Structure 1
Amino acid sequence: MVHLSKVRQLIPPLSGELHKGQAGRIGIVGGSEDYTGAPYFSGISAMKLGADLCHIFCEPGAGTAIKAYSPDLIVHPYMRTEDKKDIPGSSVKEITDRVSSVFSRLHVLVVGPGLSRDSLMLASTREIIGKAREENMAIVIDADGLFLIQQHPSIIQDYTKAVLTPNVVEFKRLCEAMKVPYTEDNKGTMAKKLSTALGGVTVIQKGSVDVVSNGKQVFTCDKEGGLKRMGGQGDILSGVLGTMLAWGKSYEEGVWKHSNEIKSQDIPMLAAWGACAIVRESGRRAFEKHGRAVLTSDMVNEIGSSYNSFMKD
């Protein structure tokens, strides 16, 4: 059972005593020429929840579009696709070094929105995740980042500061990769088994009910959501989760005065449940207003009011 009061303790107060960046600095690795909306939705959702800063590391073709979508996002066009590998500065090492040079300014890394399955993008991302692990950063992995984990589970295995956010298809493929027999029955058991196989990585098994497990505990989030499944909802979750984890980092660092009641190892589970609850409420509110015409951008616009509801429930 999730204690809502504990999740709320992770959220920094709005205070004139905090300076820019202390309420969340998010990095997103993703964005290819064909997929520019996903990193935008992830980044703007992180900001809408209350993060102070969001950096997006993407391919140059995506960078131009994302900059046009919003001036609130800081865009670094450092990633490269295979067809650009002969351009100076496009080796895996050079790309990894440029991206990781910004890590000192980040709390959390979100990996995967709009990444594509381009071989150079994936090879670079693999090394970037390794650098983030060396920095002991919280990592959210979604979308094509999960495809990378399916191919190379060792990238994230045993790293308990990571949270994976698979949908139904991605969850089944991760189970196959980890040789975990999949069954439709008892989702809580399945999420727990997959997390255990991955060494305690937190897993959000998205569905009609979201199930969160770190291999020891199982939380379920069955709050009412919207009834339309359009692309981009998972990107919203990855961004909101990134901000919740960033707040958890600030909680650990004692950025504001609190009781120190929450243990560091419990933060990924609490942050994951809180993110699911807020995103589901955003979906419900957007669908209530727009019905079948609802768009992902309508959900983004409901994040603020959904957060307010979350804090009052």
Structure 2
Amino acid sequence: MPISKSILEQVKQLIPPLNGTLHKGQSGRVGVLGGALDYTGAPFFAAISAQRVGVDLSHVICSPTAAGAIKSYSPDLIVHPILREEVPPDNLRPEITALLSRLHVLVIGPGLGREPYMQAFARLALDVAKEQGMFLVLDADGLYMAGQQLDLVKGYRRAVLTPNVVEFKRLSEQAGIDPKTPEKERASSVSRVLGGVTILQKGATDIIASNTEGASSREAHAASKIPQSDRETNEVVVVDTPGGMKRCGGQGDILSGSVGAMLAWAKCYEDGAFGDKSIPISRMPLLAAIGASMVTRTASRRAFEREGRGVVTQDMLKDVGPAFAEVFGGDVQGGKL
């Protein structure tokens, strides 16, 4: 179904007020795990986009080979070059646990790569994040990791997966989805197989699905303590907000960072920093994905209108804030944007 006025109003409820009532950190602390020797732009784009959306702090957890470049892109990011190839993952668990305890959401995948040691650290971080009940975003090689072992995310309804066309085809095959399934039903089918994990299928229009029909009680409940009344859901939302006419590499990183920002706000909302707690936890990933999709597509359109065929992801960053204001209005929750 398209985005209704009621859905948009629910997304707005997850946006922190700008009225002086919140202190630093109560508008979101985002972590991005990724960044190896060959990939430094992707984690930067994801982390800085989260800040452009409006979170207070963005951390990048990466390998030492990527840290110098990422630090040079922006002093606003907090960079942790702790993913060292020579360190066994279990040795790093205490440090990862302590770091993630300071964050609201973890984005896994931008610039992660497929080197065995980076994939092992990603699996460790995913495990720790689930233990702590964090919201999660999986993109790029984070999706590759999950596809190799679906049980890593199955039933964890605090997660959002953001596959592009190629990644979604692979994920559908790994989930055993019948290739004859109608195209608009596939995201919902993948979500159902994964026990209700929210799927943001990127494309000409973005299809966002959350489906736990037929999922076992254990899978639907998972670590997120979802009330019984929220366990059986089936919802598909199509985001057709106009985007730019060129899909440049890196736009997906802006989307994953934006989803991370909205989920960080969801965690702050859940913790009582603001809002009335009327939105069920199980619905927050769907709402976060919808809001982030709308903002990213609007930023893409604005950048393309200005730069044309030569638009690159760097051009989009300056449009994230104005795109947010365009989508949600200039006054949200009692404070000027």
TM-score normalised by length of structure 1: 0.94
Q: Does 1:255 align with 2:251?
A: no
Give runs of aligned pairs for residues 146-295 of structure 1, distance below 5 A: 146-183=143-180, 185-187=182-184, 189-215=185-211, 216-256=234-274, 258-295=275-312
**Uncovered stretches (5+) of structure 1, i.e. residues with no partner:** none
What letter corresponds to residue 182 of structure 1 in structure 2? Answer: P
Amino acid at match of 1:206: K
- 1:259 CA drift (Å): 3.7
**Letter aligned with residue 271 of structure 1:** A
The one-letter amino acid of 1:278's match is V
User: Quick one: structure 1 residues 259 and 181, their matched pair in 2 at CA, closer, same or farther if it must change by over 3 Å?
Assistant: same
- Alignment RMSD, CA only? 1.3
1:9 shift after superposition: 0.8
Q: Does the alignment pair 1:109 with 2:106?
A: yes
Q: What SS does the aligned partner of 1:268 have?
A: helix
Quick one: which amino acid aligns to residue 312 of structure 1?
Answer: G
How far, CA to CA, are the matches of 1:36 and 1:259 in structure 2?
Answer: 39
Rounded to whole Å, the distance in 2 between the matches of 1:184 and 1:178 is 13
The aligned amino acid for 1:107 is: H
- Identity percentage of aligned residues: 48
Corresponding residue number in structure 2 for 1:128: 125
Give the 3-state SS of the residue equivalent to 2:304 in structure 1.
Answer: helix
Preserved CA contact (<8 Å) 1:96 1:124: no
Q: 1:169 to 1:264 in 2, by over 3 A?
A: same
Displaced runs of 4 or more, over 6 A = none
User: Conserved in 2, the CA contact under 8 Å of 1:172 and 1:182?
Assistant: no
Tell me if the contact between 1:166 and 1:204 (Cα under 8 Å) persists in the aligned partners: yes
Q: Secondary structure at the match of 1:225?
A: coil
Aligned partner of 2:37 among 33, 36, 41: 33
| Residues 237-276 of structure 1, C-alpha deviations (whole Å, 9 max, x = no match) | 01011010011111112212x3433111111101100000
Q: What TM-score comes out, normalization by structure 2 length? A: 0.88
SS at match of 1:102: helix
- Structure 2 gaps, min length 5: 212-233, 331-337
Q: Are the counterparts in 1 of residues 53 and 324 from structure 2 also a CA contact under 8 Å?
A: yes
Deviation at 1:101, TM superposition (A): 1.5
